[in-house]
Amino acid sequence: MERFLPCLYAFLACAGFSIVFEIRKPLFIFLSCVTGAVGWLVYLLLAEIGSDVVRYLLATIVVSLLSEIFARMLKAPATIFLVIGIVPLVPGGGLYYAMDYLLNGNYAMFAQKGLETAACAGAIAAGVSVVTSIVRMAASRRPENPKQKNE
């Protein structure tokens, strides 16, 4: 239960951002919230790895894969699910503490926290890029529809 309650919070946070981004279809809202909750669950389950950057990368890969799957199933843009699904993974706390250290004159801690946050944000960007690139390469290698050749 200790790991599932934060996933419920991630689900609800994604629901709030779905409203902010004006997603109208209830199925899209639900699936984007599921994507965010599953991504956060993956992040929590990988706690034994120790490296936050690796946890962010792997969780983002899962979120990106789910987004691509839902997009193909529903014939919708993957960004609908991806942007909402990444919301729980955004390292906002790290950025807040980095700015707090900067404003309080603790430059060593600012640099440390800032680099950690930048690395986590880079891992998120890399995870999205890797999955999106692989999906696009796979889609471009798909053979043409045989029915179209005969017509």
pLDDT at 58 over 80: yes
pLDDT at 44 over 80: yes
pLDDT at 88 over 70: yes
Is 59:90 a contact under the CB 8 Å cutoff? no
Work out the number of other CB atoms within 10 angstroms of the CB of residue 150: 6
Dihedrals phi, psi of 113, to nearest 5 degrees:
-70, -35
- Give the pLDDT of residue 147: 63
Residue 75 in 3-state DSSP?
coil
This prediction's pTM:
0.88
